[in-house]
Amino acid sequence: MDYLDLLNESQRKAVLHTKGPAMIIAGAGSGKTRVLTYRIAQLIAQGVDPFNILALTFTNKAAKEMRHRIEKVIGNEAKNIWMGTFHSVFSRILRAEAEKIGYPKSFTIYDTDDSKTLIRNIVKEMNLDDKLYKPNVVLSRISSAKNKLISVKQYINDPVIQADDEAAMRPKIGKIYETYQNRCFKAGAMDFDDLLFQTNVLFKDHPDALNKYQNIFHYVMVDEYQDTNYSQYLITRKLAAKNQNIVVVGDDAQSIYAFRGADIQNILNFERDYPELEVFKLEQNYRSTQNIVHAANSVIKHNQAQLRKEVFTDNEQGPLIEVVKANSDNEEGKLVATTIFEEKMSNHLSYDDFAILYRTNAQSRAMEEALRRMNIKYKIIGGLSFYQRKEIKDLIAYLRLTVNPNDEQALRRVINYPKRGIGETTEAKLFVTADETNHTVWEVVQNAGSFLGNRVGAAIENFSIKIKDFARMAAQQDAFEVAKHVAKHSGIVDELYADKTVEGLARYENIQELLNGIKEYVDDPEKEDKSLSAFLQDIALITDADTKADEDGEFVTLMTIHSAKGLEFKNVFIVGMEENLFPSQMMLNSRADLEEERRLFYVAITRAEKKLYLTYATSRYQWGNLRACEKSRFLDEIDPKYLNFKYGDNGASGGGNIFDRVLQRKSNLVAPAPRKQVASNYTPPADFKPSDTSNLAAGMKVEHPKFGFGVVSKMDTQGNSTKAIINFDEVGEKTLLLSFAKLKIHS
């Protein structure tokens, strides 16, 4: 079937427009990914070389999904499109052009923790008050400056900026910014904001580089344009200046990232930049029921700054939106959990069909407690990601040093881990000596005997020899072989293996899982560059949205509304609909702030496909004190004909809604008792020796050095990894990865 036949009229017009600037205003659930996909396919069908197409997204997940869809239409040529996040595409360009702006091609990408650690060290070195100059506050200020393309020199010389810092009692932020940038440059490192800031520097200072990429990118497409900041806006405008074939896709009603520097004016004023602009509106929602779509429309119409559109749907009318008032946040949690349980049982649903959305992470506590009491499994999106775990960051630091020995933050992290007799005082001397002698820290490390004396220098020089050995191997071997070697010879694996606690075992298994991930990366036929440097760049560019790993089993999803953008669920609970919570008290200082909060509510509403629940409490604990709450003004902005109130100010509900049934049956509803967690006291015999588990099968009896005896209930093979689900006599069911589990098979 021709892919154009799958589009409605508005979508088809947007796809067939292939010349000149265009803006596609895509309402929630209106099929924008399909339009972007088919538009690229249409360009290629008309003879455009995929190498001349640039498509920018905000998550790797979105880029991957789009590329996969294009492949289905046009085949392997889709692999040649320049497609990815802003940061991944422009880091790729910077790798090629880095030396023009004084950076090594193998520059390190600092994550937020690296940046905060560096700032913390600078504040300490400058003898500043660390309560005033908190790393997250300083980093936010620096990040905001970079996103507005304000250099160190401009920052220090701008009287308005300096006055703001003086008023905030932080007059030294400019000096910290200067030191921070100098240290990053010396370490051959860029933070996330630098990837865009330095791209702008490259294009401004090197017109030949800009001209090169203008000639490569004949067509530029930007997804989620409402989320772009000034730096991203300027890059895309420059790249499209020659051919003028720029298409942006977005929805001003879903612009919710001003706190990250996103500027809604980029989309509101796009026509000003391109007077000959063609505008296409995708207004048909394919996701949600009529009641949900109409309710969302009735909310967003209260915003003054917007591109007018009227989203509609041909879907079923659906049930009314439930609005419920609880007496406390704990009661709110119990009501939500019980409702989920009731709905699941009554309608044969999966827990995966439910999401609980909240304005702040702190609200998850009452929800989690209530779900645990009902023995309902849940997962929180936005918790500690795999790559933020200490043991993972430790090994990654070694790998980063292997590729870029000037990486100061990686060096600090592992120079005495595992312990090798290099104390804090000696470590501090390294950095002071580097500053005083105008050498890099790595130069001092390599010649520590000369700089610090032979007594303390020997251990440091031995460390440098180890890193050099890793680097030699990295120049010849793929990422997995190097990482495996580094994990073993750095001492990390031995250190973790020696820790026989449950936590130690988990850390050890996490290292093994990282090595698994690197092996999968190397074995991926789509990855042309198998080097350690390429792998490190790949993981450095993982976004929050990309770390939402799939897990086995059914889970209710808990997350902030910001994290929910781009997702959809059959049943959605938006909790905490109270003044000063949603809208947030921090967002009531201006109309622009309030309108952003309203857009956030619009995003939350439009995550729901079938059923939507809005809950609020009349009292809530805050900082240990119980305070009275009033319902959110946003509830009053929804046309009441789309709502069904329970305990609300509009009187009794219409009856028969899920909350009525829950409350009526609550006393009779018996939740399954949570399984008691039992700690294992098992001690393996002295002659315990793991068996070859390559032929392990369900039904076999096994022995584990920590969990004792058990029976294999199921084997699960996915890709190159095999898991065994085992029912242990003492601790119950455990899922173990066979490549790391130490199991003795008993006949």
224 in active site: yes
Q: Are 720 and 521 in contact (CB under 8 A)?
A: no
Tell me: is residue 27 an annotated ligand-binding position.
Answer: yes
Compute the distance between CA of residue 620 and CA of residue 366 in angstroms, rounded to an integer: 10
Residue of 191, 223, 495, 595 with catalytic role: 223
Dihedral (Cα; 132, 134, 137, 142), 10-degree rounding: 100
Tell me: is residue 188 an annotated ligand-binding position.
Answer: no
DSSP assignment of 349-364? --GGGEEEEESSGGGH
Residue from 284, 189, 297, 316 nearest 253 by CA: 297
Is the backbone of residue 178 left (phi > 0), alpha (psi -120 to 50) or beta?
alpha
Q: Are 33 and 65 in contact (CB under 8 A)?
A: yes
Q: Are 574 and 614 in contact (CB under 8 A)?
A: yes
C-alpha to C-alpha distances, 539 to 87, 194, 643, nearest whole angstrom: 12, 17, 45
Residue 487: HSE in the Cβ half-sphere, 13 Å Cα cutoff:
24
Strands 53-57 and 278-282: unpaired
Q: Are 561 and 381 in contact (CB under 8 A)?
A: no
Where is 509: in which H helix or E strand?
A: helix 502-523
Q: Are 259 and 218 in contact (CB under 8 A)?
A: no
Place of tokens 């298994």: 509
Tell me: is residue 240 an annotated ligand-binding position.
Answer: no
Residue of 42, 179, 214, 254 with catalytic role: 254
Q: Tell me the residue type at 323.
A: V
Cβ-Cβ contacts under 8 Å for 623 (sequence gap 6 or more): none
Residue of 224, 263, 394, 495 with catalytic role: 224
DSSP category for residue 678: -
**How remote is the C-alpha of 419 from its chain's centroid?**
33
443 in active site: no
Compute the distance between CA of residue 87 and CA of residue 198 in angstroms, rounded to an integer: 11
C-alpha to C-alpha distances, 182 to 111, 142, 471, 746, nearest whole angstrom: 17, 13, 25, 61
Residue of 359, 607, 610, 744 with catalytic role: 607
Compute the distance between CA of residue 657 and CA of residue 653 in angstroms, rounded to an integer: 8
Residue of 32, 34, 281, 631 with catalytic role: 32
Tell me: is residue 26 an annotated ligand-binding position.
Answer: yes
Beta strands in 155-296 (DSSP E): 189-191, 219-222, 246-250, 278-282
Compute the distance between CA of residue 581 and CA of residue 579 in angstroms, rounded to an integer: 5
Tokens found for residue 97: 């052009």
Q: Are 219 and 243 in contact (CB under 8 A)?
A: yes
Cβ-Cβ contacts under 8 Å for 420 (sequence gap 6 or more): 459, 462, 463
Compute the distance between CA of residue 554 and CA of residue 552 in angstroms, rounded to an integer: 7
| DSSP reduced 3-state for 46 | coil
Residue of 13, 18, 33, 92 with catalytic role: 33
390 in active site: no
Dihedral (Cα; 541, 32, 312, 251), 10-degree rounding: 50
Tell me: is residue 298 an annotated ligand-binding position.
Answer: no
Side by side, the strands of the sheet bearing 53-57 are: 82-85, 53-57, 219-222, 246-250, 22-26, 278-282
236 in active site: no
Q: Residues marked as binding for ATP? A: 26-33
Q: Residues marked as binding? A: 26-33
Annotated catalytic residues are 32-33, 223-224, 254, 607
